[in-house]
Amino acid sequence: MTSNEKVALVTGAGTGIGRAVALALLREGYHVVLAGRRIEPLNEAAAASGSDRALPVATDVSLPASVDALFATIKQKFGRLDVLFNNAGVNSPRASFEDLSYDQWQNVVNINLTGSFLCAQGAFRLMKDQLPQGGRIINNGSISAHAPRPNSAPYTATKHAITGLTRTISLDGRKYNIACGQIDIGNALTELSARMATGVPQANGEIAIEPMMDASEVANAVVHMAALPLSTNIPFMTIMATKMPFVGRG
């Protein structure tokens, strides 16, 4: 690794948007740490990249000890971190608000919110102490950080909270040259969102098929955010399928 090569960490990197972003960063010449709970899809993504700059690390972002081990590996292997794409997340089974269980709520909070906090804190500490100081944290928000879908309380609540986390990291990171931004994604076609192509509930109770965009477009946007000099930041970016029902009344 030469002095001008950069190191990125992508959580939830084995599938979907995380995988697309990890592969895009590898194509741009980054060393990329691919983190996720299951090592098999991480290894598959690394193999698909054809790059020797990919490092898969099995990590449960909801567990402090697992996140600590991840950042210890990054520090030992590379000595620094330039970019974190804080992407790992889950949704709860679709259920009426009154029927959600505590365990369903807590699982989403543990991964989407606590996991994002733990990874951001690990990155923040490393970026603060490294030379040259600083780096960039990009949080995966969602269109749900602006407006909910029906029956999505855990997911929507955590994505609203991610916006608060983004704002506070952006503020607290200024003195250490740490930039923080958020990308809010609407209808990127992944394994988890494929059902939208067959119809999803709308606010008026109807079921409608929604337009989708390729996940590679999201990856390109994240690469753009990551490539900015630390003197410049995109605090919030929304990227969505042009005709999805979000702007206005649908």
Task: Kindly state the average pLDDT of the residues 205-209.
Answer: 82
Is 248 part of a structural domain of the chain? no
- Residue 160, classed as helix, strand or coil, is helix
Is 221 part of a structural domain of the chain? yes
User: What CATH number has the domain bearing residue 129?
Assistant: 3.40.50.720
- Helix, strand, coil % over all residues of the chain, rounded to 5: 45, 20, 35
Task: Tell me how many domains the chain contains.
Answer: 1
pLDDT in tens, 182-197: 999 999 888 766 667 6
More confident of the two residues 188 and 31 = 31
Is 1 part of a structural domain of the chain? no
Work out the mean pLDDT of the chain and round it to a whole number: 94
Q: Which residues are catalytic?
A: 155
Reported pTM? 0.94
- Residue 125, classed as helix, strand or coil, is helix
| pLDDT tier at 93, thresholds 50, 70, 90 | confident
Is 163 part of a structural domain of the chain? yes
Percentage of the chain beyond pLDDT 90 is: 81
The domain of 40 spans 7-240
| Helix axis angle, 115-129 to 153-172, nearest 10° | 10
Is 246 part of a structural domain of the chain? no
Is 250 part of a structural domain of the chain? no
